[in-house]
Structure 1
Amino acid sequence: MTYENTTTSRPLPRPAPPSPALPSSAGHALLVHAHPRPDSLTAQLAHRAYARLTADGFTVDVLDLHAEGFDPRMTPADEPDWADPDKEYSPEVRAHMRRVAAADTIVVVFPLWWFGPPAILKGWIDRVWNHGFAYGSARPRLRDKRMLWISLVSYTRDQFAGLDWEGPVTRTLRAGISNFCGIDDAAVHLVYDSLDAGEAAFTSAESGLEAFLAKAE
């Protein structure tokens, strides 16, 4: 289990996704935030990511899973049907699918809990990145997208490497989710020592986002 320190923050903006007919020169980004407290370090890093993306000319759809009340529980309506890739999922899930489909770039900011994504983020992947949409279709819908996972880890880099968790966590996110769903241009950036990093956490997250964005130029 990993935790993080608390900083003063305000709720993230929640603009509606712009019309696909009016793209910006940089593109359209979906910024996903998965922490229950708006005063968390995770929220602060999401704010910084939002500021950087908009400064670079992206239009940004902010998906704050907790603030929007996303239900991570799988239901029969959203359980994949392996025999039917055209299954029509629930209205809530179809709305989220449209937001994913509209984005050129996806950035996910979250704390690492029990060496994996929080339940609300895992449930979002389970329900939304579903069969026939993110995978299992003759029409690969996510192939041309780019994706960056920014995860906060309470361990120092040396501690995390010593526990041999860096590889499994990175592979799960990049290969097990992004690559599996056709997103080849995917990266994982881990922000270490989240309990005590202070300003270094912002520097780390911003450098990860900078490297990711520069790669596309």
Structure 2
Amino acid sequence: MTTEAPHALVVLAHPRADSLTARVAARARARLLADGHTVDVLDLHADGFDPRMTVEDEPDWADRDKVYSAEVRAHMARIEAADTIVVVFPVWWFGLPALLQGWIDRVWNYGFAYGRSRPRLAGKRMLWLGLAGYSHEHFTKGGWDDLLDRRLRIGISNFVGIEDAHVHLFHDTVATGAHDTELLTSAEKVITTYTHTPPTP
């Protein structure tokens, strides 16, 4: 009897292919592959995803079975196919980049990600990896770590039925670039720890 390999979706939201964020996403992909996952990489910028809400993709509270645009349905299929979702993003204005927020707005839509008694995304695992420019001390003092954790883990992941969710922030990511290697190694360790931790029942 064969068991299918776990499947991961790595979502990248950064305009530069050579950015530290992109390198963290590449390291995440490599680690997931090494740990036996199949991996689908969704580079929102490279794919030309349009984050602007359209009438076609606006939620219809009277019709949770509304058929959304072909672009959105294709993204929904990629999310649904994944056992684990890893989102890698720069922290801008203490939150998500507009492109990533637009992806959540358009794709994690009513009737798909929420609005049903049995959430369709329940049972998946989710890891948010954010790269923040400020120091850990500055971020913690301002309460931004807690704010992002509550918003992403509870406000998005838990809200759509993904109980096994974790937010990890990397700090000082625009200082000098001197600790990039250390950060990439740390990112790999976070991925390894997460994938080797049994899923939350």
Alignment of 1:146 onto 2:125: yes
Cross-structure match for 2:182: 200
CA distance in 1, matches of 2:163, 2:182: 29
Cross-structure match for 2:51: 72
Matches within 5 A, 1:120-159: 120-159=99-138
Matches within 5 A, 1:8-19: none
Matches within 5 A, 1:48-63: 48-63=27-42
**Structure 1 residue 23: deviation in Å?**
7.1
CA distance in 2, matches of 1:178, 1:114: 21
Cross-structure match for 2:193: 211
CA distance in 1, matches of 2:39, 2:77: 14
Alignment of 1:175 onto 2:154: yes
Q: Assess if the C-alpha contact under 8 Å between 2:51 and 2:106 holds in 1.
A: yes
**Structure 1 residue 203: deviation in Å?**
2.5
CA distance in 2, matches of 1:216, 1:153: 28
**Which among 85, 88, 92 is matched to residue 64 of structure 2?**
85
Deviations 1:66-93 (A, max 9, x none): 0000000000100101111101101100
CA distance in 1, matches of 2:18, 2:155: 30
One-letter amino acid matched to 2:72: V
CA distance in 2, matches of 1:158, 1:139: 40
Work out the number of aligned pairs and report it.
195
Aligned-partner SS, 2:16: coil
Cross-structure match for 1:96: 75
CA distance in 1, matches of 2:138, 2:13: 24
- Calculate the TM-score normalised by the size of structure 2: 0.93
CA distance in 2, matches of 1:81, 1:89: 10
One-letter amino acid matched to 1:204: S
Cross-structure match for 1:106: 85
CA distance in 2, matches of 1:56, 1:76: 41
CA distance in 1, matches of 2:143, 2:117: 37
One-letter amino acid matched to 1:89: Y
**Which among 143, 150, 162 is matched to residue 141 of structure 2?**
162
Deviations 1:20-51 (A, max 9, x none): xx9743x0000000000001000111110010
Identity of aligned residues (%): 61
One-letter amino acid matched to 1:35: H
CA distance in 2, matches of 1:173, 1:200: 25
**Structure 1 residue 211: deviation in Å?**
2.0
- RMSD over aligned CA atoms reads 1.4
One-letter amino acid matched to 1:87: K
Q: Assess if the C-alpha contact under 8 Å between 2:134 and 2:171 holds in 1.
A: yes
Cross-structure match for 1:4: none
Q: Assess if the C-alpha contact under 8 Å between 1:24 and 1:57 holds in 2.
A: no
Structure 2: 5+ residue stretches without partners: none
CA distance in 2, matches of 1:31, 1:199: 20
CA distance in 1, matches of 2:42, 2:4: 19
